[in-house]
Amino acid sequence: MAKYVIRQYQFGYNDECYYISGSNILKVYDNEPDANDAFRKLEIEHIRNAELHEQSSLWDLSGDELKPLNDFVESKVGKKLFAEEHPDYNDSVPASLSDDDVLKLGEMAGIQGYKLVSFENEPVFYAIWILDGDEEGWYKIYDEDSTSLVYSESRDETIKNVGDLAYDYWYEKKIKGSLEELSDSPSLLSSFLEKTKRIKFVEKKKKSFIKMKSEEGADICSLNELLKKPLFEIKELSIDQVLEIEKELAEEFEY
pLDDT tens for each residue of 35-67: 999 999 999 999 999 999 999 999 889 989 999
Task: Look at 19-23, 77-81, 82-86, 172-176 and tell me which has the smallest mean pLDDT.
Answer: 82-86
Provide the CA 178 distance to its chain's centre, in angstroms. 35
SS3 for 212? Answer: strand
**pLDDT number for residue 26:** 97
Q: What share of the chain is helix, strand, coil (3-state, %, to 5)?
A: 40, 25, 35
DSSP 229: S
Residue 65 CB partners (closer than 8 Å, separation 6+): none
Q: What is the pLDDT of residue 204?
A: 86
Question: Is 185's pLDDT higher than 80?
Answer: yes
Give buried/exposed letters for 104-143 (b at 16+ CB in 10 A, else e): bbbeebebebbbbbebeeebebbbbebeeeeeeebbbbeb
What band does 186 get if pLDDT is binned at 50, 70 and 90?
very high
What's the rounded Cα separation, in Å, for the pair 144 and 146?
A: 6
84 band by pLDDT with thresholds 50, 70 and 90: confident
pLDDT at 178: 95
Q: Where are the alpha helices (DSSP H) in 140-238?
A: 155-169, 179-182, 186-195, 217-226
Q: Give pLDDT, residue 250.
A: 86
* pLDDT for the residue 37: 98
Q: Give the per-residue pLDDT at 125.
A: 97
Tens of pLDDT, residue by residue over 94-110, are: 999 999 999 999 999 99
Identity (one letter) of the amino acid at 254? E
In degrees and rounded to multiples of 5, residue 221 shows phi and psi of -65, -40
Tell me: the pLDDT tens digits for 197-224?
899 999 988 889 999 999 999 999 999 9
Q: What is the pLDDT of residue 146?
A: 82
* Residues 117-172 pLDDT 10s: 999 999 999 999 999 877 899 999 988 878 899 999 999 999 999 999 999 899 99
23 beta partners: 9
Domain boundaries, the chain: 3-119, 124-254
Provide the whole-model pTM. 0.89
Q: Is 148 helix (H, G, I), strand (E, B) or coil?
A: strand
- Other CB atoms within 10 A of residue 152 CB: 18
Half-sphere exposure of 234 (CA within 13 A, CB side): 24
pLDDT of residue 142: 87
Q: What is the residue-averaged pLDDT of the chain?
A: 94
* Interatomic CA distance for residues 223 and 156, integer angstroms: 16
Distance CA 222, CA 105 (A): 40
> What's the pLDDT at 124?
96
CA 107, 155, 235: angle at the middle one, nearest 5? Answer: 130
Contact at 8 Å (CB) between 114 and 9?
yes
Reported as a single tens digit per residue, the pLDDT across 231-248 is 999 999 999 999 999 999
